[in-house]
């Protein structure tokens, strides 16, 4: 069961070969056994999960089940879930119990899925290694000396280690795709606005987007079918008709034009990652695709632009954590201003403080035009580069990350090197485009390599088709870490 796809699990549940309670208990037992070493989950509530499973079994018995009814899903701890502790990986929200459900949680509840628990993450989604979490670093199940990537590292680890059937994540600058690549799973960030941000704790509002993480493209399609949809509570939610993201999975790839940006294959890309990506491109040629050389000239500016815009938005979004209404409050203070200062100083971690300070600086009088406004102009140029590229190709491919998973603690003293982990993913968020990562082999150290697929706006179904056809021809996505018991 642990290696079954969501489609296979759904079939088994409807055929009554296993109940949702039995399947949920199987995953809960694995969480009990393996989570202490991997640290993928922050919060579990076995009683609540099993109650949902029993309700799902009732639906299954009455033939009212949907495709994900009864299937155990992990939720990133950035989504508010009513009655569940929702921490965002921070001391600031360590004891916060959400009083309502995020839109994404509502969607899965309506689909009859089972919430297995809340997964670990970089604090307020700020990080690329899952080492900034107040609850400790997550370990990569392929090599526990390595990071799982971030910020959705707990979700990626849980999927790879078979601690859930699939998981939700969020992607602000690569936080679904990069950990998916480093943990050898699949993950997709849909077009900005297709998944509601209501109840998703904000980092950078113009960049944040929720998406699914699973082992294969077929599973991602089923997850997206549940997650997407208009939500009037989110002003950035797009009013579009619901679509079936699995509709094109079986289409052949003959005639597909794949764009390869020269900027993605330049200095900084490790040789073993480049080798795996080139082998994947060769496989696509066998499947009937043609290769087009393209350029994204402004992509080299994506990292500095991101680290102006994202901290600017974060400094505004995180101003609400002041120790007054909810969240951490310093135990001792002399007056209101002292309470603000001490609560924020003690409640936020070092990386969050760094980004708040950067964001406040670039928005300050005298620097707004020089930094923030200039970054917004370059953001438009980056989007135009993609617009021009898609006149020549259908999808864009390249590495997801410049290297395989790096060792725990190896980049903690060098924030810039950490930021460069997202060098290939950030431009996609700045443009609001959909992007995904799928497993494409293993590096020289045996750690997974991810292939990034970027599509035009609202082309998720096509991207999933491209990914699925590759996964039918290869077995990278079906591999499991050798050091976990199955």
State the catalytic residues: 76, 151, 175
- C-alpha gyration radius of the chain: 21
Chain CA centroid to CA 268, Å: 23
Given a contact cutoff of 8 angstroms between Cβ atoms, the answer to whether 113 and 226 are in contact is yes
Produce one character per residue of 248-287: b if its CB has 16 or more CB atoms within 10 Å, e if not: bbeeebeebebbbbebbeeeebbebbbebbeebbebbeee
| Listed residue (238, 210, 187, 174) closest to 79, CA to CA | 210
Question: CB neighbours of 319 closer than 8 A, spacing ≥ 6?
Answer: none
| Listed residue (467, 418, 423) closest to 265, CA to CA | 423
Given a contact cutoff of 8 angstroms between Cβ atoms, the answer to whether 23 and 1 are in contact is yes
For residue 412, with 0-12 CB atoms within 10 Å meaning exposed, 13-18 middle and 19 or more buried, which class applies?
middle
First-to-final CA distance of the chain: 9
Distance between CA 146 and CA 405 in Å, rounded? Answer: 6
Residues paired with 292 in a beta bridge: 259
Distances (CA, A) of 59 to 69, 109, 110, 249, 281: 8, 12, 11, 28, 44
Beta strands at 114-119 and 435-442: parallel, antiparallel or unpaired: unpaired
Could you give the residue ranges of the DSSP H alpha helices within 15-81? 20-38, 46-61
Q: Which contiguous run of DSSP H or E holds residue 380?
A: helix 374-389
């Amino acid at each position: 069961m642990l290696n079954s796809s969501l489609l296979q699990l759904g079939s088994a549940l409807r055929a009554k070969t296993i109940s949702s309670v039995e399947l949920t208990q199987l995953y809960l037992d694995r969480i009990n056994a393996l989570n202490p070493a991997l640290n993928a989950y922050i919060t579990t509530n076995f009683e609540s999960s099993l109650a949902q499973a029993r309700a799902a079994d009732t639906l299954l018995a009455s033939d009212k089940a949907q495709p994900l009814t009864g299937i155990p899903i992990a939720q990133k701890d950035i989504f508010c879930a009513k009655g569940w502790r929702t921490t965002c990986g921070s001391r600031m929200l360590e004891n916060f119990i959400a009083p309502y459900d995020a839109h994404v949680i509502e969607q899965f509840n309506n689909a009859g899925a089972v919430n297995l628990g809340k997964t670990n993450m970089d604090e307020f989604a700020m990080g690329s290694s899952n080492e900034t979490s107040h609850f400790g670093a997550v370990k990569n199940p392929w090599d526990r000396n390595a990071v799982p990537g971030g910020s959705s590292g707990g979700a990626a680890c849980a999927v790879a280690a078979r601690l859930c059937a699939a998981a939700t994540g969020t992607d602000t600058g690569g936080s679904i795709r990069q950990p998916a690549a480093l943990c050898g799973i699949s993950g997709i960030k849909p077009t900005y606005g297709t998944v509601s941000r209501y109840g998703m704790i904000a980092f950078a509002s113009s960049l944040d987007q929720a998406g699914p993480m699973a082992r294969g493209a077929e599973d991602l399609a089923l997850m997206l079918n549940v997650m997407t949809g208009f939500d009037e509570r989110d002003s950035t939610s797009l009013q579009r008709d619901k679509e079936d993201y699995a509709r094109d999975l079986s289409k052949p790839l003959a005639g597909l034009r794949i764009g390869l940006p020269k900027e993605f294959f330049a200095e900084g890309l490790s040789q073993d990652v480049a080798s795996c990506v080139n082998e994947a491109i060769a496989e696509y040629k066998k499947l009937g695709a043609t290769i087009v050389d393209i350029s994204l000239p402004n992509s080299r500016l994506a990292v500095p632009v991101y680290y102006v815009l994202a901290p600017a938005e974060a400094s505004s979004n995180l101003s609400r954590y002041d120790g007054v209404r909810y969240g951490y409050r310093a135990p001792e203070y002399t007056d209101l201003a002292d309470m603000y200062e001490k609560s924020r100083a003690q409640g936020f971690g070092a990386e969050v403080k760094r980004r708040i300070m950067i964001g406040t600086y670039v928005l300050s009088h005298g620097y707004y035009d020089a930094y923030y406004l200039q970054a917004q102009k370059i953001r438009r140029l980056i989007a135009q580069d993609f617009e021009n590229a898609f006149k020549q190709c259908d999808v864009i491919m390249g590495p997801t990350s410049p290297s395989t998973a790096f060792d725990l603690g190896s980049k903690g003293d060098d924030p810039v090197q950490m930021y460069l982990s997202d060098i290939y993913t950030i431009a996609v968020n700045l443009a609001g485009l959909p992007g995904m990562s799928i497993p494409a082999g293993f590096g020289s150290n045996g750690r997974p390599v991810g292939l990034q697929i970027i599509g035009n706006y609202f082309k998720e179904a096509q991207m999933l088709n491209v990914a699925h056809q590759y996964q039918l021809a290869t077995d990278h996505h079906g591999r499991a870490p050798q050091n976990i018991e199955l």
